[in-house]
Amino acid sequence: MIELYIGGCRSGKSSAALQRANRMGVNRKLFLATCQPHDAEMRARVERHQQERDAGWETVEEPLDIAGIIRQHSRPQTVILVDCLTLWLTNLIVGEADDMAIKQHITLLQEALSGAPGPVLLVANEVGLGIVPDNAMSRRFRDWAGSLNQRIARCASEVILTVAGIPIPIKSLTRANLQEDE
């Protein structure tokens, strides 16, 4: 089971994914953090996110090889929450990955998700609702974020858009399959 939680910045997507993961009856909860806190403000944000998780959560910090972590840790009774794909993409771009390398990382992530025996919840920002950025790097980031979100949404059985703290299901294979059976 793959679920994608997507929305704007501060829309409540991380909280919605965390609440969903906490409701799952699993033996292990793994938080896969992609953020690299380079300054005091970002470290404070990370600490606030950490305080939202109870002691039952393990944290793995991995800015680049999230596919490897998913392959290594996914089990039927383990939920993995990846927060967030957008920062992961930023890490790749800032790390000077070229377009072929980024595409390969996304493909490896898709393969890891398709082979994951346990539930994986992923958080991503929707960045395509604003104006066209005025510089090439920002447009490259926006274009890759849109492509990444589309590719992961295709892998996901559930896609939940969060707006103003309200999770709105926009794709549900479970519900679609149930409706087809009726």
Tell me: pLDDT of 1 over 60. yes
Smallest Cα–Cα separation from 83: which of 36, 141, 32?
32
Q: Point out the catalytic residue in the list 38, 49, 73, 105.
A: 49
Please tell me the pTM assigned to this model.
0.90
Rounded Cα gap, residues 96 and 132, in angstroms: 22
Asked whether 159 and 169 are in contact (CB, 8 A), the reply is yes
Q: Collect all residues with Cβ–Cβ distance below 8 Å to 75 and sequence separation of at least 6.
A: 28, 117, 118
- pLDDT, tens only, 24-60: 999 999 999 998 877 888 788 778 877 788 889 999 9
Q: Collect all residues with Cβ–Cβ distance below 8 Å to 111 and sequence separation of at least 6.
A: 67
- Unique residue bearing structure tokens 């944290």: 59
Look up 49 and say whether it is catalytic.
yes
Please, which pLDDT band fits residue 174 given cuts at 50, 70 and 90?
low
Name all domains of the chain by residue range, CATH numbers in brackets.
2-181 (3.40.50.300)
Asked whether 142 and 149 are in contact (CB, 8 A), the reply is no
Average pLDDT over residues 126-137: 89
